[in-house]
Structures are given as structure tokens and as C-alpha cells.
């Protein structure tokens, strides 16, 4: 029977392509035959069969594994009979989108995503909105005004969330420390400087970060409040400023000193036992539709799983190993026999299950960071990583190839549950976790899990749609409702938070971090590892 032409090709792939040493899996929907072909275009633009291999069955779907192919080139997965030439398939079989295998496969995507930061600048002639938001902002209830020009519009709105933006810049920082692409002529350092300058201005004399719900939403001044924002934003910002201090020390020691002083000032407030004892409460009630309220930060307390991980990571970033190591037993007590962290000591709810950006960049990553920092009981950390990995593996087995699962607490039934179809931040966090776990635990199959989560963002999902604007196919439009007035243009490099949702800068930062790690593990490229930024565009070398 002739298949309908709906834009869905029936073969889900990473639409950008694959690194040479990466696992390469394509998901085939209801295959017409039990074999697939990997084809390329020859000298006369005719199709040639490169590989035939039996399909593997998984969760009612069919998985084509062509990992053994490492030769650079342009490829297409075909299952069943195809007709016509390479421009149109008029047969009854399935034909994937074209993709490439090469060491530089993700370089164009990374360049777009790095440019996205510049497009999203607030109050800059380089941003899409130009020199917006230049007026002094009121510090509500104090009679004072602040100069808060700068920062970024985080997603499809005009706000500058401190937790999301700091997480975004952390991802950019991880990328800049590992990659020195040939197109970078100091752009990455300039972008990090622009972002860090905003956070340095956000620090109150007492050491906390001023809160803001960024209302009223629009082109006028936005209210700030003389109270601390959520705990996660403080942790993220310590990590950001401490990392910037490390990276700028060689070529701008004065700026590096300012960043380190800011990080230490926030950390002193963060570690004061009187602070962050109670859940975060936003300073504004009756927020506009879609605006974040307290539900977004319901695990934002110092002794929650997210709070402990953030505080440990912040202490490690500043070299305060004694403070970090002292918190480890309290964190590990929250690890359940099943392999997930409880929210806190008084709750059976799953930790890291809310949508806050406060722990998306730390969370279970802190176990790896502690090992790298030389924690004196490494076997406990390795056992904890293994337990977390085994639990996540069970979730993947249950979800199959249809989603990137998220474990959360369902308040309607009072139980921990699995949710499918997660957002891009979750998928990218999982990809980074699996890649690091594969190396630590020496389990190659975890590399396949990492690649699967990474491929999800690039189009290997049920809608066969790339989450990244300007990369791949079937991309979605930005929403225009509620908080997303005035509307934002489609910006290349933006990544949708969820399918049919707004694009979101934290996803962009996490994707850049993931790209750098995947290239390091699977790309065959020499990448920078000194921790210093390239202020003059020094390029990494690919053989």
C-alpha cells in the first residue's frame, strides 16, 4: 500500500549526522522489510549499497545499527523499495533524510548556537531587539534604582531569569573551555564577559542575587526586589563566576579578580545556615499567564537534593573542598535503594523532578565532580553513580525509543511516576550523564544511551523534528500567547524547550556542553583542555 506523504519519513535519525566513532542508530517505524540499506551518492550521483544488516527489535520499533561505518561521507538509510532519483522517493519503502558522518559534523550547529547568545542580548545593538531596556530599574519598596542594563532575553519573552541565564552561560563556558573553533575570534570570551557583567551587577551588598519576576513584561523598566532569588540561581552563578575567573586569569586578570570576588561573596551568603532554610516564595503574586511561581522552585532549599548538589558544586568551584566533602554524607543519605535521590530527608518524593534550572547543570553530575576533586571515599561515589545509572537504564527500558523519561512525583496519587516525552534540557542532561557514566564505569552501552538522548534533540523523536532552529527539518514555530508578548523572531540556534513550545537558552547552553563532550569522546579531534579561553580565536585541530 502506498504510504502517505505527510513529511514524516518513517526513519528517525540525527538529522545533522554522526561523529565517526559514535554509536549510530536509526529508529524505523513499522518497517516494510526486515533489512535496511545505508546508501551514499557515488561519483555519478547514483545510489550504492554500503551496508546490509539485520534489524534489531526494540519496544515495537525497529532499530537500524550502522555504528561500524566510520568513513566520512553523505549517507541515507533506506528500508524497502524506493523509486525515482535521490531527490524524491516514489517507492513504497522508507528513506531517511540525508546526514553526514565526519569529525566536524556538529561544528555548524555549535556556531549557530553560540551566535544565539549574541542575538538574545538585552540592551545591545547586536541583539535582535537592539538597545532595549536602558532605563534604571526600581528596587521595589526601597526608593532606590539599579542599573541592570545587559544580560539576555532567556527565551521567547523579554525576561532575564537569573537561574536560567546562569545555567545557559555555564554551558557556553564548558564549551569554550574544551573547544577552540576556527570561527572564534574572541567571540566566546566576549559573550561570557557580557553575561558575567550582568551577574556582577545583580549581587546585592549583602551577597545575595536580587530577585525579579521580570514584570511588567514589555519594553519598559522591570521591577527588581531587595530579597534573594531562588537557591539554584545562587549556586549556578557561583559556578559561572568562578569558572570565568579561572578562564580569564591569563589574559584579563582584573576581570578574573572581579569574577572571583563576586563568586566568593555569593558563596558566603549561600553557606550562611540562616539562608535558604525554607522553600522559595516569589515576591509577586497573581503573575501573568505562564510566569514562574513557587511551583517552579519547590525543591529550592539548602538541604534538598538539588540544594546539596548545588552547594557542593559551588564549593568545589571555589576550591573549598572541605565544605564540599562535608556535605557528601548528607547527600548520599538521600540516595534510595532503587537508585534515585529523594527530595529531602523528610520526603519520599523524587529529587530533581521539578522543572527548575537550579540543578539541571549540577544534580547527579556532582558525583563525577567529587571524584575529579579527589574525594577520599571514591568507591562510595562510584557505587552511587552505578546505582543512578542502573535506575535510569530501567526507565529507558520501560520507555523504549518513544521518549526521554523523567521520574517525578505525581501529587494526584501520591506516588513517584515516570513521565515520557521530556523537554530538551532533560534529554541533554541525560546525554551528558550517560557519556560520563560510560567512561567512569567502563560500560560502552551507556554511550549508545548518550547518543540516543543527543539524537533526540537533532530529530530522532516521534515527530521527526529537530528541536534546533536552523538545523535539520520539521521545526516548530514559536508560541505567541501570554508571557510571549511582544513576540520574538525565530532565531537560528535557538532550541525549543518542548516540542511546540518556546525556545530556551538553557537548552542551548546544555547542547553546546554536550557537543564538546561528544567530540572529545567520539570525534577524533584534538580539543583544548587547559581551562583557558581562546581570546584570539585559536583553533582546535581535526585530523
33-64: b (≥16 Cβ within 10 Å) or e: eeebbbbbeeeeeebeeeeeeebeeeeebbbb
> Phi and psi (nearest 5°) for 109?
-65, -45
| Joined grid coordinates for residue 59 | 519496544
> Phi and psi (nearest 5°) for 435?
-65, -40
Residues ≥6 apart with Cβ < 8 Å to 306: 231, 232, 299, 300, 351, 352, 356, 358, 359, 362, 363
| Joined grid coordinates for residue 285 | 503574586
Among the residue ranges 74-83, 250-259, 464-473, the one predicted with the least confidence is: 74-83
458-491 pLDDT, tens digit per residue, is: 999 988 999 999 999 988 888 777 677 778 888 9
Among the residue ranges 156-160, 168-172, 197-201, the one predicted with the least confidence is: 156-160
> Phi and psi (nearest 5°) for 35?
-135, 160
> Phi and psi (nearest 5°) for 306?
-65, -40
Distance (Å, whole) CA 489 – CA 369: 38
Q: Judge whether residue 537 has pLDDT over 50.
A: no
- Give the pTM: 0.93
DSSP 8-class letter at 325: H
What's the pLDDT score for residue 175?
97
What's the pLDDT score for residue 266?
98
| Joined grid coordinates for residue 448 | 549508545
Please tell me which residue, 376 or 540, carries the higher pLDDT value.
Answer: 376
Whether omega for the bond prior to residue 218 falls within 30 degrees of 0, making it cis, is no
Q: Judge whether residue 509 has pLDDT over 90.
A: yes
Q: Judge whether residue 236 has pLDDT over 50.
A: yes
Measured in whole angstroms, the distance separating CA 455 from the mean position of its chain's CA atoms is: 13
Burial class (CB in 10 A: 0-12, 13-18, 19+), 263: buried
What's the pLDDT score for residue 62?
87
pLDDT grade, residue 45 (50/70/90)?
Answer: very low
pLDDT grade, residue 159 (50/70/90)?
Answer: confident
Q: Judge whether residue 222 has pLDDT over 60.
A: yes
pLDDT grade, residue 306 (50/70/90)?
Answer: very high
How much of the chain, in percent, has pLDDT values that exceed 90? Answer: 60
Mean pLDDT taken over the chain: 87
What's the pLDDT score for residue 86?
52
What's the pLDDT score for residue 168?
96
What's the pLDDT score for residue 39?
85
What's the pLDDT score for residue 440?
97
Q: Judge whether residue 253 has pLDDT over 70.
A: yes
Among the residue ranges 147-156, 390-399, 525-534, the one predicted with the least confidence is: 525-534
Burial class (CB in 10 A: 0-12, 13-18, 19+), 19: buried
Q: Which of 256, 221, 48, 209 is nearest to 123 (CA)?
A: 221
Q: For residues 400 and 58, is the Cβ–Cβ distance under 8 A? A: yes
Please tell me which residue, 388 or 286, carries the higher pLDDT value.
Answer: 388
What's the pLDDT score for residue 274?
96
Cα R_g (the chain), whole angstroms = 23
Q: Judge whether residue 540 has pLDDT over 70.
A: no
Q: Which of 236, 237, 378 is nearest to 309 (CA)?
A: 236
262-302 pLDDT, tens digit per residue, is: 999 999 999 999 999 998 888 888 777 666 666 677 678 99
Q: For residues 204 and 149, is the Cβ–Cβ distance under 8 A? A: no
Query: Coil, strand or helix: which one is 508?
Result: helix
CB atoms within 10 A of CB 5: 10
What's the pLDDT score for residue 466?
94
| Joined grid coordinates for residue 486 | 511582544
Mean pLDDT of 420-429: 85
Among the residue ranges 122-136, 165-179, 202-216, 277-291, the one predicted with the least confidence is: 277-291
Which of 74-88, 199-213, 390-404 has maximum average pLDDT? 199-213
Q: Judge whether residue 529 has pLDDT over 60.
A: no
Q: Judge whether residue 534 has pLDDT over 80.
A: no
Give the CA count within 13 Å in the CB-facing half-sphere of 79.
25
What's the pLDDT score for residue 527?
38
What's the pLDDT score for residue 541?
27
What's the pLDDT score for residue 85?
56
Mean pLDDT of 208-231: 91
What's the pLDDT score for residue 125?
96
Measured in whole angstroms, the distance separating CA 416 from the mean position of its chain's CA atoms is: 24
Residues ≥6 apart with Cβ < 8 Å to 311: 235, 270, 271, 302, 323, 324, 327
Give bridge partners of residue 228 from the DSSP assignment.
Answer: 210
What's the pLDDT score for residue 526?
38
What's the pLDDT score for residue 520?
93
Amino acid at each position: 500500500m502506498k504510504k502517505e506523504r505527510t513529511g514524516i519519513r518513517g526513519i528517525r535519525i540525527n538529522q545533522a549526522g554522526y561523529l565517526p566513532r559514535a554509536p549510530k542508530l536509526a529508529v524505523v517505524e513499522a518497517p516494510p522489510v526486515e533489512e535496511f540499506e545505508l546508501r551514499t551518492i557515488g561519483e555519478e550521483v547514483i545510489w550504492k549499497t554500503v551496508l546490509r544488516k539485520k534489524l534489531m527489535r526494540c519496544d515495537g520499533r525497529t532499530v537500524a545499527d550502522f555504528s561500524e561505518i566510520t568513513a566520512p561521507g553523505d549517507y541515507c538509510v533506506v528500508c524497502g523499495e524506493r523509486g525515482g532519483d535521490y531527490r524524491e522517493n516514489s517507492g513504497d519503502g522508507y528513506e531517511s533524510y540525508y546526514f553526514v558522518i565526519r569529525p566536524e559534523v556538529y561544528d555548524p550547529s555549535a556556531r549557530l548556537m553560540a551566535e544565539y547568545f549574541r542575538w538574545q542580548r538585552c540592551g545591545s545593538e547586536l541583539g535582535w531587539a537592539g538597545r532595549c531596556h536602558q532605563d534604571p530599574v526600581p528596587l521595589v519598596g526601597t526608593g532606590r534604582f539599579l542599573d541592570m542594563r545587559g544580560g539576555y532575553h532567556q527565551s521567547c519573552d523579554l525576561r532575564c531569569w537569573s537561574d536560567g541565564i546562569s545555567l545557559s552561560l555555564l554551558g557556553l563556558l564548558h564549551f569554550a573551555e574544551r573547544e577552540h573553533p576556527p570561527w572564534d575570534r574572541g567571540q566566546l570570551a566576549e559573550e561570557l564577559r557580557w553575561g558575567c557583567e550582568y551577574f556582577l551587577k545583580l549581587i546585592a551588598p549583602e551577597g545575595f542575587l536580587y530577585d525579579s519576576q521580570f514584570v511588567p513584561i514589555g519594553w519598559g523598566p522591570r521591577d527588581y526586589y531587595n530579597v534573594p532569588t531562588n537557591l539554584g540561581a545562587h549556586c549556578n552563578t557561583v559556578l559561572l563566576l568562578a569558572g570565568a575567573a579561572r578562564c580569564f586569569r591569563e589574559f584579563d586578570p582584573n576581570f578574573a579578580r572581579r569574577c572571583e570576588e563576586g563568586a566568593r561573596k555569593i558563596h558566603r551568603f549561600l553557606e550562611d545556615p540562616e539562608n535558604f532554610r525554607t522553600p522559595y516564595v516569589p515576591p509577586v503574586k497573581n503573575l501573568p499567564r505562564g510566569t514562574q511561581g513557587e511551583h517552579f522552585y519547590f525543591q529550592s532549599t539548602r538541604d534538598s537534593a538539588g540544594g546539596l548538589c548545588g552547594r557542593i558544586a559551588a564549593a568545589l568551584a571555589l576550591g573549598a573542598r572541605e565544605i564540599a566533602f562535608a556535605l557528601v554524607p548528607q547527600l548520599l543519605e538521600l540516595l534510595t535503594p532503587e537508585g534515585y535521590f529523594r527530595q529531602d530527608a523528610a520526603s519520599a518524593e523524587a529529587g530533581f523532578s521539578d522543572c527548575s534550572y537550579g540543578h539541571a547543570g549540577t544534580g547527579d553530575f556532582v558525583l563525577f565532580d567529587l571524584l575529579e576533586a579527589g574525594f577520599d571515599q571514591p568507591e562510595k561515589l562510584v557505587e552511587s553513580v552505578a546505582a543512578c545509572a542502573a535506575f535510569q537504564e530501567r526507565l529507558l527500558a520501560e520507555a523504549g525509543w518513544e521518549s526521554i523519561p523523567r521520574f517525578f512525583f505525581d501529587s494526584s496519587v501520591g506516588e513517584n511516576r515516570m513521565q515520557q516525552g521530556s523537554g530538551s534540557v532533560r534529554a541533554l542532561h541525560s546525554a551528558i550523564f550517560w557519556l560520563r557514566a560510560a567512561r567512569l564505569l567502563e560500560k560502552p552501552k551507556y554511550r549508545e544511551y548518550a547518543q540516543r538522548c543527543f539524537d533526540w534533540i537533532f530529530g530522532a523523536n516521534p515527530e521527526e523534528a529537530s528541536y534546533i532552529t536552523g538545523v535539520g527539518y520539521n521545526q516548530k514555530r514559536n508560541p505567541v500567547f501570554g508571557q510571549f508578548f511582544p513576540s520574538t523572531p525565530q532565531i537560528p540556534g535557538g532550541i525549543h524547550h518542548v516540542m511546540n513550545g518556546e525556545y530556551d537558552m538553557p537548552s542551548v547552553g546544555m547542547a553546546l556542553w554536550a557537543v564538546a563532550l561528544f567530540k572529545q569522546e567520539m570525534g577524533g579531534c584534538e580539543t583544548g583542555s587547559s581551562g583557558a579561553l581562546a581570546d584570539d580565536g585559536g583553533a582546535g585541530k581535526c585530523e
